Amino acid sequence: MVEAHSFHIPVMGVGFTIDTPVKVSHFGISSVISLVDDGLAERMRDFYCKKYNLPYTEIDKNEEDYRAKRLTAYLNLINLIVSNNFKNLKKESFDAGSNLTKYFDMLADSSQLKRAYLVMQEEKDEKAKASLQKELKENLVLGSIDVNIMTKIDKDNYTKKGEKLPIEFNDAHAAVRGYANSDLNHSGLVLSAGLSPRLYSYISNFDDFFPDMNGKLGKKIILKVSDYRSALVQGKFLAKKGIWISEYRIESGLNCGGHAFATNGFLMGPILEEFKQNKSKLIQEVHGILNDALSLSGRPTLSKPLDLKITAQGGVGTVKEHNFLLDYYNLDSIGWGTPFLLVPEAVNVDDNTLEKLLNAGKEELYLSHTSPMGIPFNALKDSSKDLERDAKIEKGRPGSSCPSQFLKLFNKEFSDKPICLASRQYQKAKIKELDAKKDISEEQHSREYNKITEKSCICTGLVTTPYINLGLLRTADGDSVSVCPGPNLAYFSKKSTLSEMVGHIYGKINLLNDTYRPNMFVKELGIYVDYLKNEIEDSVETINGRKLKYFEEFKSNLLSGIGYYDTLVKEMKEESENYRNKMKEELEKHVFHIHSISLPVLQ
């Protein structure tokens, strides 16, 4: 299917994009819903059923397989609303101010559909004009309603008697089932956070993920990756199950929102280059494995490979960067996430959080260790959730009551069952263990204490904003919000409409503030240099041969990436000569900074 736009809105947090398709899909804009919190999905279903006078029957936690059923019911409702929105839009006239006109106005001037629209506007003959308008409506396309599952959030679940349920009732497994059983069709399942063999194997239980007799997929797999090697490994793994990855969604390791999955110093530009050079090879290699698997399972084989998209996201901020990624790397779409946090028309963001985001500069945006998953997490200083956490620490009661429990995943230090690192139960036990240590300095104690208590309950924090906006808040939930913008937010400071942000993406208007903004590749490079410095500083007391080798490779990869960018600058033909010269100067400075980084010495 031809897409209306060359950008998409990635998943942001949990609640921020939980209903974004309702707001943008009928305009041809694709977006992603998080499937982490089935409780939020259930309450959003209640809200939208009331809004559109649709019947609602609660799916409560006493019902068998309630998590999957909640997610299926919510996605079916979203699909119904989006379909109705689209039908209603197509019934409208081409009058100024209509949603139909808004659809075409937001299109990039270079798109075929926009050019046809402009021809219609110039047509003087009324009969011919009516014919062109009919044809335009027939060529409208919906934005995809995609869903995201973090493969690591796959907590075991138990019966009320404490008996462990079969693996298919784990959180991520149930989410896959909830999506697979939904009636979404123009849609994809975004898998993020790394390979999960048992979850990937489970996907092969659902026919919609397999090609039919005509080579069509009922539902697609979209894999979020940060390097080519990982993409190839995961692509082959799923192909052996008969599953084709329809899109590899490349995300910057550190210049992005949410959890940051840092590479070993491999930068986004060289990673995109590797995909560009190897796309044909990737398609042919994985296609062969796929056909073998389909044949063995008795399913129809394919005479030619299925379509494969390569997309990218993380730190894009200007139309020139957008176009360069599309044209030079032959990408199919670019993800614009963080800037949309300033577009209440497209995402859920409460007034208090929006105000903080509007005023956030570079110093207010940082890579934190607040996530209980133990993965670096892009955060906003003084978010209401972090202020709540700090107030609890001040009162001597650090930690959360852990109401959602989605991140009770790995740690069994103090319990037979995993408990969350942000929970009061864990932090209380960990602090007690710390206090019992002898021969520990006050400074070291303080440092260890902060590491324990800085973990925040992002499960509740990332779902709160739609509750506030839609009046769904219950006292037990609290009203504090976690938000996870990428560093790119520092360059945007205006509350914007959907049309304005789309206009910025396509270069019709400029929403950047006056803060100096380096090229997205240079920005990511700078973040990686800072990341390496911090990693070295944190490892001085625990350095070993393995870590030292890691740091050496990290430095080498950064320098190699700079060498690549040094030759890439001349390809940025849309940029001015001053811009390119400035970029080269900044690259040279980073070379100096990297060479000046001293590695720890093994004792």
Decide if 296 is inside a domain: yes
pTM of the full predicted structure? Answer: 0.96
User: Which residue, of 314, 340, 366, is where some domain finishes?
Assistant: 340
- Residue range of the domain that includes 529: 518-603
| Structural domain ending residue among the three candidates 290, 308, 340 | 340
How far is the CA of 312 from the CAs of 147, 325, 339, 483, in angstroms?
A: 17, 8, 15, 22
Q: Which pLDDT score is estimated for 475?
A: 45
- The verdict on residue 288 lying in a domain is yes
pLDDT bracket for residue 83 (50, 70, 90): very high
Distance of CA 428 to the CA centre of its chain: 32
Instruction: Please report whether residue 221 resides in a domain.
Output: yes
Residue 13 lies in a domain: yes
Q: Which helix (H) or strand (E) holds 246?
A: strand 245-251
- Determine the pLDDT at residue 474: 61
Query: Which whole number is the average pLDDT over 325-331?
Result: 98
pLDDT in tens, 173-196: 999 999 999 999 979 999 999 999
Residue 477 has pLDDT above 60, yes or no: no
pLDDT digits (tens, 9 = 90+) for 498-555: 999 999 999 999 999 999 999 999 999 999 999 999 999 988 878 999 999 999 999 9
Q: Which is more confident, 403 or 363?
A: 363
In a domain, residue 59? The reply is yes
Mean pLDDT, range 248-263, rounded to an integer: 96
- So what's the pLDDT on residue 1? 54
Into how many domains does the chain fold?
2
Given a cut of 80, whether residue 603 has pLDDT beyond it is: no
Mean pLDDT of 67-82: 98
| Alpha-carbon gap, residue 474 to 459, rounded angstroms | 16
Percent of all residues in the chain with a pLDDT value above 90, rounded to a whole number = 93
Contacts of 293 (CB under 8 A, 6+ apart): 239, 240, 241, 242
Note the pLDDT of residue 439.
86
Question: How many angstroms separate the CA atoms of 76 and 496, rounded?
Answer: 30
Last residue of a domain, one of 321, 340, 359: 340
In a domain, 19, yes or no: yes
pLDDT reading at 460 higher than 70: yes
pLDDT tens track for 88-145: 999 999 999 999 999 999 999 999 999 999 999 999 999 999 999 999 999 999 999 9
- Does some domain include residue 387? no
Question: Where do the H-state alpha helices sit in 96-195?
Answer: 99-106, 112-122, 126-138, 171-180
In a domain, 268, yes or no: yes
